[in-house]
């Protein structure tokens, strides 16, 4: 029996889907984990409730106008310091007692705190895939320089990571990422013109934040995951395949040079990959529900429809182009998803907006961190400008 000491965690985005499920995992293993940092953007009441339960050294509320609310609510909890804003977030992850930073915040906002955490030598449990989409080369180089591990939390990437344990000397031939296909699987391109926000927000297998739920419906999530996988596992662009598997039981596969495939299976429950990343290399015993083949007698696989779902090609294209292309794709997509959720543009127009931004924003072959920050800002400006025209077409 190994004796594992306590792991101290900074949880960024504690109030979200991954954040709250992470806290469930920690509750299931009392004594094994400690929480040093909890952060949220706007859901301050839930953040306060979490802070009362887990008693971290720091809580950070992203939205500075909510600082007083959180301070007042936690005034009697003297061991917890309350901070606000993005600079405080990047600072909190560097605290000496922190072992692992779990990035469960959504979007580009994950980039700078992750950079700060790597520079401070912290292990990264990475849920925030946008970080690797925006700055995969830079983040993986930085992690290597600081001997920092990037442990995947995304279920597909956790599956691949688990398949690679014990295969250190064996090159990967390719990986196959599974995709549920989302709520619009099987719809034709013309049918996709008419889908609504309410339909897009209903994912068949997973209960997730709004942004990733829309990304799953548009297959942009799979596109982002392809890029995430390239960087996490050091693959060439042509080593990554996608297959649609609506039951979300086979979480992904690795194919080796002898033609053998390894897959990782389980119920679609994010607590499993979260727990694997936090416990790694240990598998922690738990009482979470078990998978039974008898409940899933049929597992099916099909090709993704790249015509009805153009985002997959857009993401593969941005990956092949390299440089700041995936950063442009990500920023444009974040603006597109926000506009779709405000019912300002249609579902298919999200892809048009991403394609238009990729064509317009200046391409850089070897961007540094500052260049990526500037690219993100430029792509957001460009996308926000374009949306006005899209809006007119959408309303007509
Ligand atoms: P969510 O919207 O449910 O939660 C996001 C969290 O981030 C919240 O705590 C929010 O307060 C915080 N946040 C939002 N904007 C922020 C900002 N600008 N600065 C700092 N904090 C901010 O999102 P989620 O579904 O939990 O997803 C989180 C990340 O994990 C995403 O990158 C997503 O792609 C990835 N992921 C999620 C799932 C899932 O099942 N939900 C699965 C795989 C990967
Ligand atoms: Mg995933």
273 lines ligand 1 (CB under 6 A): no
Q: What is the CATH number of the domain that holds 106?
A: 3.40.50.720
Q: Which of 148, 171, 186 is the last residue of a domain?
A: 148
Task: Considering every ligand atom shown, identify the ligand nearest to the alpha carbon of residue 47 and give its number.
Answer: 1
- The whole-model pTM stands at 0.98
Task: Considering every ligand atom shown, identify the ligand nearest to the alpha carbon of residue 21 and give its number.
Answer: 1
Cα 278 to ligand 2 centroid, rounded to whole Å: 17
CA distances from 267 to 45, 271, 290 (A): 31, 10, 7
Residue 347 lies in a domain: yes
Residue 207 lies in a domain: no
Q: Which of 117, 148, 179 is the last residue of a domain?
A: 148
354 lines ligand 1 (CB under 6 A): no
196-238, pLDDT tens digit by residue?
999 999 988 888 999 999 999 999 999 999 999 999 999 999 9
Residue 202 lies in a domain: no
pLDDT of 272 over the 80 cut: yes
Element (H, E) at 103: strand 100-103
Task: Tell me the pLDDT of the chain averaged across its residues.
Answer: 97
Q: What is the CATH number of the domain that holds 345?
A: 1.10.1740.10
Could you give the count of Cα atoms lying within 13 Å of 269 in the half-sphere of its Cβ? 14
Burial of 322 (0-12, 13-18, 19+ CB in 10 A): middle
17 lines ligand 1 (CB under 6 A): yes
154 lines ligand 1 (CB under 6 A): yes
Count of domains forming the chain: 2
Residue 249 lies in a domain: no
Q: Say how many Å lie between the first and final Cα of the chain, rounded.
A: 67
**Section 251-266 average pLDDT:** 98
Residue 141 lies in a domain: yes
142-154, pLDDT tens digit by residue?
999 999 999 999 9
User: Which ligand 1 atom sits closest to the C-alpha of 130?
Assistant: 32
Residue 223 lies in a domain: no
Whether residue 130 is annotated as binding a ligand: the answer is yes
Q: Which of 105, 128, 148 is the last residue of a domain?
A: 148
**Apex 370 CA angle, 368 and 371, nearest 5:** 65
- By most ligand atoms within 8 Å of CB, the mutation choice from 46, 106, 127 for ligand 1 is 106
Q: Whose CA is nearest to atom 39 of ligand 1?
A: 208
Residue 396: predicted pLDDT:
67
Residue 155 lies in a domain: no
Residue 89 lies in a domain: yes
d(CA 200, CA 198): 5
Q: Spell out the SS3 assignment of 151-211.
A: EECCHHHHHHHHHHCCCCCCCEEEEEEEECCCCCCCCCHHHHCCCCHHHHCCCCCCCCCHH
Domain that holds residue 367: 322-396
79-113, pLDDT tens digit by residue?
999 999 999 999 999 999 999 999 999 999 999 99
334 lines ligand 1 (CB under 6 A): no
């Amino acid at each position: 029996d190994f004796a594992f000491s306590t792991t101290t965690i900074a949880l960024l985005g504690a109030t979200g889907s991954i954040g709250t499920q992470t806290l469930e995992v920690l509750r299931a293993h009392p004594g094994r984990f400690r929480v040093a940092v909890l952060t949220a953007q706007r859901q301050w009441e839930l953040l306060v409730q979490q802070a009362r339960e887990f008693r971290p050294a720091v809580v950070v509320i992203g939205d500075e106008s909510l600082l007083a609310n959180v301070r007042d609510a936690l005034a009697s909890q003297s061991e917890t310091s309350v901070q606000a804003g993005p600079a405080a977030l990047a600072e909190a992850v560097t605290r000496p007692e922190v072992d692992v930073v779990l990035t469960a915040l959504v979007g580009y906002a994950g980039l700078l705190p992750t950079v700060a955490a790597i520079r401070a030598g912290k292990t990264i449990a990475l849920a925030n895939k946008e970080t690797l989409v925006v700055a995969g080369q830079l983040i993986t180089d930085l992690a290597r320089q600081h001997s920092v591990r990037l442990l995947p939390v995304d279920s597909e990437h956790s599956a691949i990571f688990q398949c690679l344990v014990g295969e250190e000397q064996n090159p990967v031939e390719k990986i196959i990422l599974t995709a549920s296909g989302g709520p619009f699987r099987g719809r034709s391109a013309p049918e996709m013109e008419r889908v609504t926000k309410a339909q897009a927000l209903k994912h068949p297998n997973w209960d997730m934040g709004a942004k990733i739920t829309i990304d799953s419906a548009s297959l942009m999530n799979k596109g982002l995951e392809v890029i995430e996988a390239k960087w996490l596992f050091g693959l060439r662009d042509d080593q990554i395949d996608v297959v649609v598997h609506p039951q979300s039981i086979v979480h992904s596969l690795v194919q080796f040079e002898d033609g053998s495939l390894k897959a990782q299976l389980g119920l679609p429950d994010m607590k499993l990959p979260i727990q694997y990343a936090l416990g790694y290399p240990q598998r922690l015993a738990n009482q979470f529900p078990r998978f039974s083949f008898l409940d899933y007698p049929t597992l099916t696989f099909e090709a993704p429809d790249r015509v009805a779902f153009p985002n997959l090609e857009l993401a593969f294209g941005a990956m092949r182009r390299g440089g700041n292309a995936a950063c442009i794709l990500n920023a444009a997509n974040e603006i597109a998803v926000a506009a779709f959720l405000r019912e300002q543009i249609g579902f298919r127009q999200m892809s048009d907006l991403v394609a238009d931004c990729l064509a317009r924003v200046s391409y850089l072959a070897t961007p540094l961190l500052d260049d990526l920050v500037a690219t993100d800002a430029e792509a957001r400006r460009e996308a926000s400008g374009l949306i006005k025209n899209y809006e007119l077409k959408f309303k007509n």
